[in-house]
Structure 1
Amino acid sequence: MADLIHPSAVVDPAARIGQGVEIGPFCVVGPEVSLADGVALKSHVVVTGNTSIDEETIVFPFASIGEVPQDLKFKGERTRLEIGKRNRIREHVTMNPGTEGGGGVTVIGDDGLFMAGSHVAHDCHIGDRVILVNHASVAGHCVLGDDVIVGGLSGVHQWVRIGRGAMIGAVTMVTADVIPFGLVQGPRGHLDGLNLVGLKRRGATRADISALREMLSTLSQGSFRETARARADQDMGAMEREVLDFILGPSDRSFLTPARPA
C-alpha cells in the first residue's frame, strides 16, 4: 500500500483505504474518508468530510471533494457525500455533502463524467452515466436522472429535477423541471423538443419516438400537470409512462415548456 501513496500526500490514519488505491503527490485525505478498491487520486486532490468514494473512481488534480456545503444555513451538522463507482472527476471539480435541512446526504451515481470546473452542491442526487460538461453547476437539492447531460457553462437552479435521458445545451440556465428525454437550450432555458440523439443511442424505436412527440405536443397545449392527470389512466408505452410519472411526481415546481412564437 505504501508504494501507492506518494510521500508528500497527507492521509489521516483513520481514513479507510481499500486495496490498490493510488494517492498521488500533495493529496489530502481526511479522517472520515473511505476510498474503495482501485480509487485513484491523481495529485493535489482534497477529499475530506464524511465522504465515501466507490471502486475505480478517478479524481484528477485540484478537485475538492467533501468540503462543507456552500450554504449559510449549514452549522457543522454531521452529513455525508457518497460517490459511486467508475466516475471520472476532472480538474477543479467541487462536490459538497448534504445539509440537515436537505436530507443530510449528497449522492453521485456510477460511471459519471464530471468535467473540469463543474460543481455538485449539497443534497443533490445524481444518477448513473451523468455528464457535467466544463463549468456546469448544479445547485442544492437537485435531482438528475440517469444519462443526463448538462452542457458547458450551464447552471441548474436549486430544487430542480431533470428526468432521465434529458440534455441541457451549453450556456443555459435551467430554472424549472425538465421532463425525461427532453432537450433544453437557450440562455433562459426552454424545452426544445426531445433529445433525439440520446433516444436513438439508447435503442428507442421509431414508434417510441413518435409516441413521445405526440405526447409532448399534447402536453404543450396546456398545463403539464393537468394534461398528465387527464391521461394517467390511458394505455401507453413505457417511455410515455415514465414521462407522465415524472410530471406527476413529488415536486411543486413548474416545468420548462416550449418557447412561445415571437
Structure 2
Amino acid sequence: MPLDIVTVPCLSDNYAYLVKGPDGVCVIDAPEAGPIIAALDERGWTPGVIMITHHHHDHVGGVDALKAKYGCKVMGPKAEEAKLPPLDMALEEGMNGGAGDGYTVPLHVPGHTLGHMAFHFPEAKAVFSADSLMALGCGRVFEGTPEMMWQTMQKFLALPDDTRVYSGHEYTANNARFALTVEPDNDALKARAAEIEETRARGAPTVPSTIGEEKATNPFLRAHLQTVKDGLNMGHASDADVFAEIRRRKDSF
C-alpha cells in the first residue's frame, strides 16, 4: 500500500503532513490544530499517531488539541522530551518501526535544535525533514554549531536521489533568490528558481522537492564542491567552514 501524503498549510508559512499507510494515519508536526482537523475530516481519516520533529512552537502548537480530539499517541525526539508536549514514545535514532511503505527510520539531524529529528520512509522514498533540510535551504543554526549542521547535511546527501523531501516551511522563493547569489551560473538552479516563481504565483506549495534536486541546487548541500568554494573565494577552506559562511550570508540576506 503506497503512502498517501497530504500537505497541510498552517500558520503563515508552515506545513504539517498527513501520512496514510499500512499502519494507519499519522500527523507529522502540528503547528496548529484547525487546518489539520479540517484536512482529516475532509478525508474521513482518524490519526493514530502524531510525530514531532522538534520543540519549536510552530511545530507543536496543535498537538494538545489533536490528542484531546482523537486520543492519538504522541512521539518525538527523546533528546527534547523536556521541551515537548508529553510523549507516549520518546524516539532515538535506531528505533525504526512500521511495515512496507510505512516503515519509518527516525534520523537525528541536530543543528537547528539539538534534538531535531527527521523521519525517513525508505520504502516510500520520502523524508520529512522539517527545519533541518529545506527546499533550497536549511534551518537557522539556533542551538547547534555550523559543524554539527554540516554533519546533518551528510545524512541527507547519503539518501537516494529520488527521495522526496517534505520540509517544514514555504521559504523556497526567498531561498532560491539567496542561492543564486552563491551560484549565479548554476543552470539547474536558474531553471528551478524560475519554476518556483511560477509555482508560487499559482499559490501552490513548492514541496516536496527531491534529494537529487537539492544536491544540484541547494547551496547548503554543495559546500564541499570546489566550484562553490572558488566562487566564495574559499578555495582552500574546509567543507564545514564553507557551510558556515553560506549560513552566515543567508542569516543576513
TM range (shorter): under 0.3
Larger Rg: 1 or 2?
Answer: 1
- More helix by percentage: 2
TM-score, with structure 1 as normaliser: 0.25
TM-score, with structure 2 as normaliser: 0.25
Higher relative contact order (CA 8 A, sep 6+): 2
